[in-house]
Chains A and B, each alone.
Chain A
Amino acid sequence: MIRCPKCNTLNRDSSRFCSECGAPLYRTRIRCPQCGTLNPVGNIFCDQCHTRLVPAEETPATPAAKLTEETGPRVQGISLPTRPAPAGESGETGAQQPMPDWLMGFLGPETPEPGETSGAVPDGLAERAEETAAPPEEPVTPTELPDWLTSLAEESAPAAVPSRPELEPAAELPDWLTGLAEESAPAAVPSRPEPEPAAELPDWLTGLAEESAPAAAAPAPEPEPAVELPDWLAGLVEEAASPSPAAPPIAAEEGIPDWLSGIMEEVPAAEPILEPEPQEPEASLEPAALPDWLAGVLEPEETPAQRPGAPAISAAPAPDWLSAWEEDIEEEHPIGGREDLSAEDTWPEQQAPASESARMGAGEMAAEVPDWLRALGPRSGAVAVEALPEGLEQAELPMWLEQLRPPGTAPLDSSRAPEAPPGEEAPVEGLTRAEIPDWLQPYRPTATSPATGTSALEMAVSAPESEGPLSGLAGLLPALPGVDAPAHFAPTMAVPLPQTVVQEAQLWQQLLEGGAGAQGRPKPRARVTWPAVVVRVMVALVLVLASLLRFSETPLAQPPEQPNVSALYATIEALQPGAEVWIAFDYTLADVDEMDFIVEALLEHLLSREARIVAVSTLPEGPGLIADRFAWALGRPDVSPDSLVSRGFVAGGTAGVAQILTSATADAGPHLLVVLTSRPEKLKAWVEQTAVINGARLAEGKPALPLVAGVSAAAAPQLRPYLNASAQAGWLSGFSGVAAYLQARGLPPREDISRRLDALLVTQWLAASLLAAGALFYLLAGKQKTG
């Protein structure tokens, strides 16, 4: 590791600039421009391919001669742009760049001897080669380049070849090379703004490095010697450092994709793809470092915005296993193997090799990947235009390549960007957001993780606890998605439709429905059609008639036999005179017509047993109902006002129930608790709190408080589990229950109750007939349609 002299940060061995402050670092290794092998600093020639690593004048001994003997006078000076032509330097650097393979293959395995002509070399070239062939014993210098090659280098880097001013590239170059020179010279690759240390950074990375580390960048003095690039490649190379106009502009603060920014040494960004945060494991999969589509697969919705207390993204050096891997790759995989990398290898799916290469630092992947492949490498469309060096122009990617633009290199649709939670600070400097192309946006996994099939909300609430005594644990007390949704959670549809799609669909629908003129027609106000009104009125009329008409002088219905009614009767019958009975009036005003009969039946029985009634209610309308029923009771003979006590309204819901029971049972307590309710939750609260009180009473040796209930017919089915419990001492429900209770008491049937029961029977039978008729109708209608 190299320690930065400025900020003392540890950097990788192959780093050229400090990842923290951008200061140039003293190299400990040199990357071969030909094969990419990392060589020790003292090497003059590459250990792998014997390419000269340092200029000839810097070398003390005979490696040049050795080079000549082994490899022949290689024509140097041509290379695809991998390093800048530094200002003021001779063209030696550029001239010494190795020839690309395609050109090497064109010229033949060896440069022909002076006087000899290779079959593959045009005559003009051969002459130039002859003229410029270097003596074997002399090191190859830029001055010995063939004119046509030198001129190419000169045009792209005029200062690089100052020793050959006599060349006139346009006059001497063959047409095909002239064309290359003309086209590529003005469209030079954005140069490396940095001086020598950044020379080996690939162009597309250089351009990105410029925007991301402006402090370390310096404006390029001259363009790259990229004249030998065909224009289609030159355009691609330019595109590497500049945004495509076709790409929607991203915000100025965004630069390279996160997956790339994380591997750029100049960018103090996290590298969460390959190195998890040691303290916070989830930070290794922070979506901000991954393209959204990839982050969604790995850790959907686990964004820092949704995880309170999630750690901020912080920079981290590359892990050792990665640096070791880089070295292994370079040592074991010569350039031939690297060049065989398909274009897909550079896509984000396999970012490791590319990211490692980029991570290795500026200038050290010059020949690791072929130039034409480098040019196709993922590049960010987010480079701000203003960061381009002067004189550079933006070029467009060809359409076929634009379609292959990998995710993360197009700007994120701002309408779908997750909002930062309140109080969240701006993204960490150097971090950039991954972008998803617009066409991919609808398929972004948001609501459901494809891996687990769980909803985003369920995952959000099932995450490890971040606060409280159980922080860090997950699943011990699982949260309920419907109850414990994080306040800032904003679930979205799994596949939300873009607004344009919705609008288009609406337009199509309008056209299909009403033709061309439908677009401007105002939407008619929704009205209930007359058949529905007629049906509704008919049904109501039938029910009214059934309710009012008397179909028989003799009763049509008889009370059902219900064991629960008998048990209730027995419980009240067992009360001693003067026993205190608490009655909870917890039914609403809407159920008065039904509950009045239940209240009267029970009150009458209790008063006949000379019980002392204490009435209470947890509903605001309770005191009025209590007063009304007490007024009715006082109208009966032999009822003393002292036997009727009202405790009024007790607020608080369940807490109020607990308070009532606590105060009621403070002393000896009541002998019976009667709950009159039409709301299931009320009886549940009474049953539960009575169980709590009874637990304490039993522990103290006191008898348990019995509970009986009078509920409406609507509440009874839901309260069955509580009413049928062994702790309950009887109950009755609905009007039929009242009739059964009166029958159990042995009282003579009442005219009004008998008539109401008959009316209820008739309406129930009528309702059953209507339901059956409706079912039959729609069954037959459905069969006709399908038929």
Chain B
Amino acid sequence: MFKRILPTAVAISAGLLVLLGAFIPVDPLPQIRAVLIDWAMFVGAFAFILAYLQLLRVHLTRLRRGGKGKSTSLWVVLSALVVFVLVLWQGPAGAVGQTLLRGLLAPGQSALLALTAVTLLLSGMRLFKVRRNLGSVLFLAVVLVMLIGSIPLAIVPYQGAMGTVVGVADWLQRVPALAGMRGLALGVALGILLTGLRVLFGMTRPHSDD
């Protein structure tokens, strides 16, 4: 009952009410839709909490069992507890929260993303080592045009070769890249439509244990 029937019934009924409220602007459907979405937002917060608690449980288990990675798990658990208490007490706008944000979280995560500049560059340099075909040539050519043509040089006249490169870079983004991304976006949207309808018809039950 709890594994399949009730969750499926809840999913289908809630989903259909929200869907009807979106397409049929007749009272009280939009209001019901608004309430259900609000409830879903609230329950979603619990999903956030559950996800984070699961992560902490993994590290706590590793601490208890010992072995490799114990020190890093200790750092994770300690920092999580300390920050949780401080931010819960003062809030995000408090001094502690802002200091943590600007002094630790933002620089650290930004540095991690900045590292990808080096790794992306190195992987791009090895592209022809891994795969040497027409697709790789096309890929590299487009990347080069984008890197050179996205920011025009001020010291060189805009017309001429530089202008051509900038124009080609702009055209690549506006036409073929747009077409490719649009095809991907449509494919993804159609997939979401299919999957969503399957969920609403009870054919796909990711919430159940079967």
Contact B117 A543 (CB under 8 A): yes
Q: A468-B202, A468-B203, A484-B195 are in contact. Are A722 and B40 (CB under 8 A)?
A: no
Complex contact B109–A659 (CB within 8 A): no
* A590–B203 CB distance below 8 A: no
Q: Which of B113-165 contact A (CB under 8 A)?
A: 113, 117-118, 121-122, 124-129, 132, 140, 143-144, 147-148, 150-155, 158
Could you tell me the dominant secondary structure of chain B's interface residues?
A: helix
A483 to B105, CA, bound (A): 34
- Please determine whether B210 and A775 come into contact, CB atoms closer than 8 angstroms: no
Q: Which residues of A contact B185 (CB under 8 A)?
A: 684, 721-722
CB pair B204–A479 under 8 Å, yes or no, is yes
Contacts A768-B144, A770-B125; is A736 near B37 (CB within 8 Å)? no
Binding site for A on B (CB under 8 A): 22, 25, 30, 33-34, 37-38, 40-45, 47-48, 91-93, 97-98, 101-102, 105-106, 109-110, 112-113, 117-118, 121-122, 124-129, 132, 140, 143-144, 147-148, 150-155, 158, 166, 170, 173-174, 177-178, 181-182, 185, 191, 194-195, 197-198, 201-204, 209-210
Q: Contact between A651 and B44 (Cβ–Cβ < 8 Å)?
A: yes
| A109 interface contact, C-beta 8 A | no
Cβ A539 vs Cβ B118 within 8 A: yes
Whether B41 pairs with A765 at a CB distance below 8 angstroms is no
A772→B126 CA distance, assembly (Å): 10
Query: Is A135 at the interface (CB under 8 A from chain B)?
Result: no
Q: How many whole Å from A531's CB to the nearest CB in chain B?
A: 12
- Min C-beta distance of A630 to chain B, whole Å: 8
Contact of A554 among B127, B155, B170 (CB under 8 A): B155
Q: Chain A's nearest CB lies how many Å from the CB of B105?
A: 5
A: number of interface residues (CB 8 Å):
79
* Residue interface mask A748-787, B partner, CB < 8 A = 1: 0000000001001100110110111111011101100000
Contact with B along A721-741 (1 / 0, CB 8 A): 110100000000000100000
Question: In the complex, what residue of chain B is closest to A763 when comparing beta carbons?
Answer: B117
Q: How far is the CB of B3 from chain A (nearest CB, A)?
A: 11
Contact B204 A484 (CB under 8 A): yes
A656 engages B44 (CB within 8 Å): yes
Q: Which residues of B contact A653 (CB under 8 A)?
A: 44
Q: Of the candidates A624, A700, A722, which one forms a contact with B97 in the assembled complex, judged by CB atoms under 8 Å apart?
A: A624
User: Is residue A540 contacting chain B, with contact meaning CB distance below 8 A?
Assistant: yes
- Given A479-B198, A721-B181, A771-B143, CB of A557 within 8 Å of CB of B151: yes
A591 interface hit (Cβ, 8 Å): yes
Question: Does B44 contact A655, Cβ atoms closer than 8 Å?
Answer: yes
Instruction: Please tell me if the beta carbons of A536 and B203 are within 8 angstroms of each other in the complex.
Output: no
Instruction: Tell me if A's interface is mostly helix, strand, loop or mixed.
Output: helix
A114-162 residues at the B interface, CB under 8 angstroms: none
Contact B101 A589 (CB under 8 A): yes
Could you pull out 8 A-B pairs where Cβ atoms are within 8 angstroms?
A479-B203, A552-B155, A554-B155, A621-B101, A696-B30, A720-B177, A720-B181, A779-B128
A668 interface residue (CB < 8 Å to B) = no
Contact A558 B166 (CB under 8 A): no
A772 to chain B, nearest CB (A): 6
**Knowing A539-B118, A589-B109, A717-B173 touch, does A624 contact B98 (C-beta < 8 A)?**
yes
Instruction: Determine whether A469 belongs to the interface, using a CB cutoff of 8 Å to chain B.
Output: yes
Say yes or no: A767 contacts B147, CB within 8 Å.
Answer: yes
Could you tell me if B203 and A480 are in contact, using CB atoms closer than 8 angstroms? no
B102 near A628 with CB under 8 A, answer yes
B204 neighbours in A (Cβ, 8 Å): 479, 483-484
Does A526 interact with chain B (Cβ within 8 Å)?
no
B101/A624 in contact, CB under 8 A: yes
Chain B minimum-CB-distance residue to A666: B34
* Interchain CB contact under 8 A, B140 and A771: yes
**Which residues on A are within 8 Å of B, measured CB to CB?**
308, 465, 467-470, 477-480, 483-484, 487, 535-536, 539-540, 543, 552, 554-558, 560, 588-593, 620-621, 623-625, 627-628, 631, 650-653, 655-656, 658-659, 662-663, 684, 692, 696, 699-700, 717-718, 720-722, 724, 736, 757, 760-761, 764-765, 767-768, 770-775, 777-779, 781-782
Residues of B within 8 A of A620 (CB): 48
CA distance A484 to B204 in the complex (A): 6
Select A779's contact among B98, B132, B198, beta carbons within 8 Å.
B132
Q: Which B residues touch A560, using CB under 8 A? A: 150-152, 166, 170
A592 and B107 alpha carbons, distance in the complex (Å): 8
How distant is B124 from chain A, measured CB to nearest CB, in Å? 5
* A652 pairs with B41, CB closer than 8 A: yes
Bound complex: CA of A242 vs CA of B125, how far in Å? 67
CA distance A469 to B22 in the complex (A): 23
Which 6 pairs of residues, A with B, have the shortest CB-CB distance? A774-B125, A652-B44, A652-B41, A627-B93, A590-B109, A558-B154
Distance A246 CA – B91 CA, assembled complex (angstroms): 76
B residues within 8 A CB of A535?
A: 122
Report yes or no: A483 in contact with B195, Cβ–Cβ below 8 A.
yes
Which B residues are CB-close (under 8 A) to A477?
194, 197-198, 201, 203
Chain B residue nearest in CB terms to A596: B106
Contact of A778 among B22, B113, B129 (CB under 8 A): B129
In the complex, are the beta carbons of B198 and A589 less than 8 A apart? no
Beta-carbon contact of A589 and B105 below 8 Å: yes
Among candidates B41, B92, B147, B197, residue contacting A650 with C-beta atoms closer than 8 Å: B41
Contact A775 B125 (CB under 8 A): yes
What are the residues of chain B within 8 A of A543 when measuring CB–CB?
A: 117-118, 121
- Identify which of B40, B47, B127, B201 contacts A468 (C-beta below 8 A): B201
A651 to chain B, nearest CB (A): 4
Give bound CA distance, A736 to B153, whole Å: 12
Residue of B41, B150, B201 with most chain A CB atoms under a 10 A cut-off: B41
Bound Cα distance A558, B173 (Å)? 19
A586 shortest CB reach to chain B, Å? 15
Cβ contacts under 8 Å, B158 to chain A: 558
A778 to B38, CA, bound (A): 56
Check A720 against B154 for contact (C-beta < 8 Å). no
CB of A66, distance to nearest CB on chain B (Å): 72
Provide the bound-state CA to CA distance between A552 and B154, in Å: 11
CA–CA, A484 and B22, complex, Å: 26
Q: What is the bound-complex CA distance between A343 and B33, given in angstroms?
A: 72
Q: Which residue of A lies closest to B119 (CB)?
A: A536
- Complex CA distance for A760 and B191, rounded to whole angstroms: 38
Once the chains bind, are A700 and B201 in contact (CB under 8 Å)? no
Contacts of B201 in A (CB 8 A): 468-470, 477
Hey, which chain A residues are within 8 Å of B102, CB to CB?
628
Contacts of A736 in B (CB 8 A): 150-151
Chain A residues lying within 8 Å of B30, measured Cβ to Cβ, are 696
